[in-house]
Amino acid sequence: MTKTIEKKAIDFCNKNKHRYTKPRKNVLRVIANSEKPLKAYEVLKKLARVLNNPKPPTIYRAIEFWQSHNFIHRIQSLNAYSACKADHFHKGSQFMICNVCGKVIESHMCELPSAIKENVEEKTFMPLNWNLEVNGICNQCI
């Protein structure tokens, strides 16, 4: 899983002439290896062990970089990040968050629900991205 996302990230950087810097690489690795979404300061804390005194702005910029390119998503209600599990780039995402163990399951909404879509077309508004978060209990915690 981590291998796959790293390979995807390297290909992406090569193709788009982005630099696959050490902080970027480590940020992606830490988030992809975590079972639960990580807050920015938790990423920083984990990286303090790997990198020699990482500067917070560098780490936060690396997080932003991956987020803006859809490799990681921000879970708004938790203010935390998790790696994208999809093999395609997508605009919308939806998360099911377990209230008991904190696990986040990602599913994809590549299209807006028709009720919203019709409204959007009528009002000539172009949606660029969206987030839907559903809280509940996962099958391991029921």
Give the footprint of Zn ion on this chain (CB under 5 A).
84, 86, 93, 98, 100-101, 103, 138, 141
CB of 82 to Zn ion, least distance (A): 9
> How many Å apart are CA 112 and CA 97, to the nearest integer?
20
The amino acid sitting at 26 is N
Residue 35 or 118: the one with the smaller Cβ distance to Zn ion is 35
Q: State which H helix or E strand residue 66 sits in.
A: helix 56-68
Residue 44 or 104: the one with the smaller Cβ distance to Zn ion is 104
Residue 13 or 138: the one with the smaller Cβ distance to Zn ion is 138
Find out whether 65 and 9 touch, Cβ atoms under 8 Å. no
Q: State which H helix or E strand residue 75 sits in.
A: strand 72-75
Residue 51 or 109: the one with the smaller Cβ distance to Zn ion is 109
**Interior angle at CA 85, CA 70 and CA 30, nearest 5:** 80
